[in-house]
Amino acid sequence: MRPTPAVAWTRRLTVTGFLFCLGAFAPGPPAFATPPPGSFGFSMDLGIADTSGSEYGSDDALLLSVDYPRTGYAAYRATAGFFTVEGQTVVTPSGGTRDADAFFVAGNMMLTPRFAMLNPFLTAGVGFYSVRLTEDGGSHQNLELGINWGAGLDVQLTRHFMLGAEFTMHHVTGDISGTVRILAVGGRFLF
């Protein structure tokens, strides 16, 4: 049995609040903790996804990224992710809804100004989205092209670890109505 939307949102907000409190009260890094230019980063983020239209409600998202800072202010990033959105409106004669889930792989450019401890960033890119729509009568899957853009903030806790949050918008061609919005929190490891 799935939890009600209110219970699911409460759980997500509790986890998000805990992660931000953990980052806020952790001791700050020393001045030499900024990673050197050219160091790779790996991040894993958990979050929630919903659409700008009313046809779908919110559900879960998972993002895995590898980034390579090209200069002190720009980086390349490759992301593999998964998101699901639950159908909210009746679309079949039997009274069922249409759920959507997607696996995607995207390449992005990031604008990454760095400060002592806070590292905001902007990102934009393109990717391929394998979208599956599920209804009462079955499901079908399509490979679609999409663009994404967003912003985030990383808080550097140690020389090799950052805690962060990111908000991205994914506009996918095809059957998903509305732009998919993902709010995710997680950690970034620097090598």
Say which range, 7-21, 112-126, 161-175, has the weakest mean pLDDT.
Answer: 7-21
**pLDDT tens digits, one per residue of 142-178:** 999 999 999 999 998 988 899 999 999 999 887 776 7
Mean pLDDT of the chain: 81
The parent domain of residue 159 ranges over 5-190
pLDDT of residue 25: 46
Number of domains in the chain: 1
Are the CB atoms for 177 and 80 separated by under 8 Å?
no
List the CATH number of the domain containing 166: 2.40.160.20
pTM metric for this prediction: 0.77
Model confidence at 18, in pLDDT bands (50, 70, 90)? low
pLDDT of residue 29: 45
The helix/strand/coil state of 19 is helix
Query: What is the sign of the dihedral through the CA atoms of 68, 154, 179 and 100?
Result: positive
